[in-house]
Each structure stands twice: as structure tokens, then as C-alpha cells.
Amino acid sequence: MSAPTDPREPEVLVHTEGRAGFLTLNRPRAINALTHPMVRRIDEALTEWEHDPAVTTVVIRGAGERGLCAGGDIRAIHDDARAGGTASVDFWRDEYRLNARIARFPKPYVAFMDGIVMGGGVGVSGHGSVRIVTERSRVAMPETGIGFVPDVGGTHLLSRAPGELGTHLALTGAQADAADALLAGLADHFVPSAALPALAADLTRLPAAEAVARHARPAPAGGLAARRDWIDACYTADTVEGIVERLTDSGVPEAKETATVLLTRSPTALKATLAALRRARTLDSLEATLNMEFRLSCAALSSPDLVEGIRAQVVDKDRDPRWTPPTLAGVTAQDTARWFGPQPTGDLGLVAPQH
């Protein structure tokens, strides 16, 4: 798919063709990072198409060659946090409501998870009913590397992955390829990237299931399946310190390297993330998990690690964040518990539909 580059183009291209409605995230230079107006525009289109009998399938895809969506606009979050503003809270409130809506959308919602799909990109794709990955897919929730926690329903998805795969992906922020995403339950079908235009054309005239079946293929082998033994053994520990210790002492070189990676992440974010994943396993709906994540995100906004993490990774790009506190031992159980408590911003208040 060629990418529009005219800066006057809308950030989301919305059109219908045949029986399909197409949403194309259109910020290719930013790998289609989500802004608040983009979230609102997607929601508006879904409202229109939900009640339009001529539209039987919705397709979301990204402009350009780099990916569906690299996440939220974290530079804007950095600036808002430094200024003590409310723009990020307002954005998350609408974004998380959109994530819940996508999960409940009554028509097939087909996500082309081609290329980079991270953070908020998972939110607009991973809750869809038909999730397509390609040989170019790199799916990740890399939030702990910027002092944040997996959000957009990410803890809901990852807490339901087989064994401890979701814990590994959430704490490390590791990228999942197509086979890994399928194994972890983040995707449903593999389609070669070269076949996406033909699939899009078929979706304009065929039922979604029939169109996808024409193009789905076995995915190339991934790496997570071969790592299941040490991942499941190490990540069942009750604490992040316990996980790091098990990884270090496992006798598996790759596990030891993973322990080293974890020690570069925000200690506070790691502990909040592990607690969130464990709680998400017990929650009975995506909506309940999003309510929890909203509290966590608002707590992160006032944490020094979020501003520092984004500074190090995106603003100054020195890749040398100075976390506060700098070690896992410095983060107490009370520190972590505060992230889950009531926030001055209020609650999200999502309620799961009753059946």
C-alpha cells in the first residue's frame, strides 16, 4: 500500500468500498502513532458503520511501509506530564473506551497487523475479531522501557497468553513475530504481506471469514515456542526480584541475558506491571481490566520514571534513563499498591455489557 504524504491529508483516512469500511491510520512518518483526534475519528466511523447495513466488515490498516501503528504519541505525553496537564488523561479515557468498543463491535473487525504494532497499535488491533499478522509483523508492549505499564487492554491480552509468555512479553517489552503473536493469542491468522492488497479487495465483496480463508497460510517458525520451558519456569515467581533470580540461575544463557534486559527497565514499572498482570488474570472482562489500567496510567503520569523514560528513549535518545528509585529493592509493596488506588483524575467507569 502506498502512503499518502501530503501533510494536509487527514490523520485517519475513512472510506467504504463494496461491503467494507476502511480505516487507514495516516501518519506514516510517525509509524501512524495515535493522536487524540485519530481516536475520535475511528470512534465516529465505527458509530456510523455499526448502524449502516451496507457495511458488513471493518478493516483497519496503516499507511506507509513501516507498520500499522507504533503506539500513542509519547512525546506529547512527555510534554503533558512535564507541564502537569490533563491532555494525556483525556486521551486515555477516550482511547480505552475505543478499545472496549472494538472488542464488542458487532461486525467483523479485521486488523492488518503488518510491520510495527506496539502499545496503542495493539489497542486498535488486538481486540478485533479478525487479527492478521504477516512476516513483517513485530508486535510488542514495550512500556516498561519508558517507565510506563502495558495499557489499552494489554494486560488483559497478555495475562491470557499460554503459560507465562504474556508475563515475559510484558516485562521485557520483547517483540513478537507472526508465529509468536499467534502463539500468545495476540493474532488469529498469518497472511503474507504481499497478499494484503488482494485480501483487502476480497473483503469488499466477500464475508470476512471466506476472504481471510483464501489468503491465510501457515506462519514461519517463531522463537517463543522453543523458550517455553525456561519462560514458564522462571516467570511463575511471585516477585520481579524472584523472576530475575530464576532467570539468572537457570543455566540457560538466553534466560540470563533476559535478566540483564529486565534490570534496564524501570523498577517501579516492572513491579506495577507484574501486579497488573496477576490481577488481570482474575478480572472477568476487558472493561474491568481497562478500568484498572486507567488508574495505573494516571499514576504513571505523576511518576518521575515516565518523563525520564520518554526523555531517554525519544527526546534526547541517550538510551540511559535514570530511574527513581534506581533498583527493584527500592520499590516497596506500598509504592506499588498506590498505583492501584484511586487517582485524582477519577475512574474510567467502563461496565461490561450484560448478556
Is 251 marked active-site? no
Which residue among the candidates 21, 62, 71, 72 is catalytic per the annotation? 72
Is 143 marked active-site? yes
Which residue among the candidates 64, 120, 123, 145 is catalytic per the annotation? 120
Which residue among the candidates 143, 164, 177, 202 is catalytic per the annotation? 143
Is 72 marked active-site? yes
- Give CA–CA dist 10/259, Å, rounded: 43
Q: How far, rounded to the nearest angstrom, does the alpha carbon of residue 106 sit from its chain's CA centroid?
A: 22
DSSP helix/strand/coil, 162: coil
Residue 96: closest CA among 336, 347, 348:
348
Strands (E), 127-206: 130-133, 138-140, 189-190
Q: Sort 355 into a burial class: Cβ within 10 Å, 0-12 / 13-18 / 19+.
A: exposed
Q: How far, rounded to the nearest angstrom, does the alpha carbon of residue 78 sit from its chain's CA centroid?
A: 18
Record the cell numbers describing residue 352, joined without a space.
461490561
Which residue among the candidates 80, 151, 202, 305 is catalytic per the annotation? 151
DSSP code per residue over 7-39: TTS-SEEEEEETTEEEEEE--GGGTT-B-HHHH
Q: Sort 101 into a burial class: Cβ within 10 Å, 0-12 / 13-18 / 19+.
A: middle
Is 316 marked active-site? no
> What residues are annotated to the active site?
72, 120, 143, 151
